[in-house]
Chains A and B, each alone.
Chain A
Amino acid sequence: MITTYLFGFLSFLAIMFALMVVLSKNPVHSVLYLVLTFFTIAGHYVLLNAQFLAAVHVIVYAGAIMVLFLFVIMLLNLNEETEPHKSVWLKASATVAAGLLLVVLVGSLKGAETIVATNKFDPNIGLIENLGKSLFTDFLLPFEVSSILLLVAMVGAVLLGKKSIK
């Protein structure tokens, strides 16, 4: 019973914070609300028995990516006064379009059959032991390729960030 309430509470917080990301005027506030959204999503991961992913999510997203966002916002010196805004007309049409997308998606998922509960849920698949085994046996090649991807991204970021390219 308490898990259901916890799910509802976390979902409510996630949706509220996500809305605040979009609607808040100050970009720094948007980043901070996004960090809170990521924490609620990490809570959902814990509820779903994915403890390792919850830890990685907090470290990578809330720890690394959002700090990068915050750094860039502070480097660019963005604040409420310099914030560009769309016209009210465009904002209204954007809201209507997103609402229609929500209606279409919810409507198409409404009739989806739910997975039959087999009562044989394995609570250990989210632990690092099982994930590591699967990562280093079935997914060894993608794992190594992703390291090359990170290297390429690092080189690209440094190259783009350089003052002038001769």
Chain B
Amino acid sequence: MSAIEVVPLNWYLMLSTILFTIGVLGVLFRRNAIIIFMSIELMLNAVNLLLVAFSSYLSDSKGQVFVFFIMAVAAAEVAVGLAILMMVYRNTKSSDINVLNKLKW
């Protein structure tokens, strides 16, 4: 028996909202660039979960194909982002985002 028959879709909406908000909280709360990156992954996953929930409740596989593409894009994003972080660390000797304030007004 699957969750589709017993769990209302609104519960998944709430769960995804809470996970997304925790991701936003992580971005605002921390100064370590890697933790901020992980919070962005958390937000992506909240959206993925909602896409899968809608696709299952509507019996339409297109949403799940989209999640598949989002995973591919997230993998590419993480590879490039972590390479940039390595460069930043090599040049500034820290992963603190407050060091990167050259473009700040």
Contacts and interface: CB of A to CB of B under 8 A. Distances in A.
Contacts, number: 238
A54 B71 CA distance: 12
A49 B83 contact: no
Q: How large is the interface on A (under 10, 10 to 19, 20 to 34, 35 or more residues)?
A: 35 or more
Interface in B1-45: 1-11, 13-15, 17-26, 28-32, 34-35, 37-39, 41-42, 45
A48 B59 CA distance: 11
A44 B82 contact: no
Interface of B: 1-11, 13-15, 17-26, 28-32, 34-35, 37-39, 41-42, 45, 48-49, 52-53, 55-62, 64-65, 67-69, 71-80, 82-87, 89, 94-96, 98
Nearest to A152: B76
Given A61-B45, A76-B95, A30 B35 contact: yes
A109 B68 contact: no
Nearest to A91: B29
A20 to B, nearest CB: 10
Contacts of B75: 60, 64-65, 150, 153
B80 to A, nearest CB: 5
B4 A15 contact: no
Contacts of B74: 60-61, 65
7 contacts: A1-B6, A4-B6, A47-B3, A50-B52, A53-B64, A115-B58, A126-B61
